[in-house]
Structure 1
Amino acid sequence: MHGVALVLALLGMACLPAVVAAVLCADELIDRFACAWGDWRDRWRRRRTIARLNRALALDPPAAAVDLTEFDRLAGPSIEQLAADLRRLGGQRLGVVSRSAVWQSAVREAYDDRLRRACRCLGIAEHLTDLDGVDRDIERVRIEGQLQAAGLSLPAATTGRRHRQR
C-alpha cells in the first residue's frame, strides 16, 4: 500500500509543472478554441447560404423556354429605353456621395425597378424583391453582369475600363 502511495506521489510531482502550465494558459486555450469554433461556424453559414442560393437559382426555367411573343405584347418602355435609364440611374447611383439618404434610396429603387424590367424583357432570372441588404447588392451585381453579357452597357457592371460601344 505504501508503494502505491509513493508511486502516485512521484507521479503527481512529475506532472505538477504541466498542470500549473495548463491552468495558467487555460484562457489562451479557450480563446483559440472559441476563435476556431467561430471561424468554422462562419464558413458553415456561408456554405449554407451559397447552397440555398444555388438551389433557388436552379429552379428557374432556362431562358430558351421563354415565349418571346409575350415580349411584343408587353406595355412599357423598350429595351433601348431601359438601357438608357439604367446607364443614367447607374451613374447617379455610383457617382453621388453628398446627396441625402432619401434621394439615394429613391435612385436605388428606380434603378432596381429598371433592372427588373430589363431582366423580364431579356428572360433573365432575378430575385431583387426577395432579398435585402448585402444579399440584394450581390444580386444586383449578378444581374448587371448578366445584362452586360446580354449586350447592355452599364456603368455599374464595368470594371473601371471604358468600353467602346459598337
Structure 2
Amino acid sequence: MLLALVILLVVCLPAAVVLVCCGDDRLERIAGVWPRWRARRRERRTIAGLDRAVDADTLTRDIDLTEFDRPDRRPVEQLAADLWRLRAYRLGRGGRPVVWPLLLIQAYDERLRLACRCLGVPEHLTELDGVDREIERIRVEGALHAAGLLLPAATTDHRQRHR
C-alpha cells in the first residue's frame, strides 16, 4: 500500500508543482467565468424586459427593411435634420427671410414623404391641398414622432417664437 502511495505521489508531483506555480492564473480564469456569465445573463434579461415593455415587434412589423438596404436611400438621421431645418425656415426662424415659401413647403413635404417611406408610416400628402394638406402634415409629423423620429411639435414652435 505504501508503494502505491509513493508511485501516486511521484506521478502526481509534477501536476501539483504546475498547479502551485500556475494555479493562481487558472483559479482567476475559473473565478472570472461566473461574473461574466452573470453580466451577460443580466443584459439579456434587461433587453428582453425592454422588448416586452416597448413591444418592439409590433413597432417594427410594418417597416420594410429592404428600404434600408438601397444604396440611394438617404439616412433617416439626415432626413430628420433636414426636416428640423426646413421647418425652422418655414416658420421664419432660420435666420434668413423666406424667399420661396412654396418651394420650401414642397421640400418639407418631400422630406416627410421620404421619412414616412423609410419608417413605414402611411401618408397622403400628395393627394391633398390647402387646409387638408396642413392637417395631414401635422398628422404625419405625429405619426413619425410615434415611430421614433423626433420632430419639432406645434406646441414647441409657439414657445420658441417668444423667447
TM-score (normalised: structure 2): 0.53
The aligned runs of 1:9-158 (5 Å cut-off) are 64-73=61-70, 75-95=72-92, 99-100=98-99, 103-155=100-152, 157-158=153-154
Equivalent pair of 1:148/1:154 in contact (CA under 8 Å): yes
Aligned to 1:159: 155
Matched positions, count: 98
Alignment match, 1:3? none
CA distance, structure 2, for counterparts of residue 65 and residue 137 of structure 1: 25
Unaligned 5+ segments in structure 1 are: 1-61
Structure 1 residue ranges (4+ consecutive) displaced by more than 4 angstroms after TM superposition: none
Checking the alignment, whether the CA contact within 8 Å between 2:83 and 2:108 is kept in structure 1 is yes
TM-score for both structures, normalised by structure 1: 0.52
Contact 1:90 1:154 in 2 (8 A): no
CA distance in 2, matches of 1:125, 1:148: 13
C-alpha deviation, 1:159, in angstroms: 1.5
The percentage of aligned residue pairs carrying the same residue is: 59
Provide the aligned C-alpha RMSD in A: 2.5
Query: Which of the two has higher C-alpha Rg?
Result: 2
- Structure 2 residues not aligned, in runs of 5+: 1-58
Within 2, Cα distance between the matches of 1:158 and 1:137? 12
Q: Is this contact kept in 1: 2:82–2:111, CA < 8 A?
A: yes
**One-letter code aligned to 1:154:** L
Cross-structure match for 1:27: none
* Partners of 2:63 and 2:119 within 8 A in 1: no
Amino acid of the structure 1 residue aligned with 2:64: D
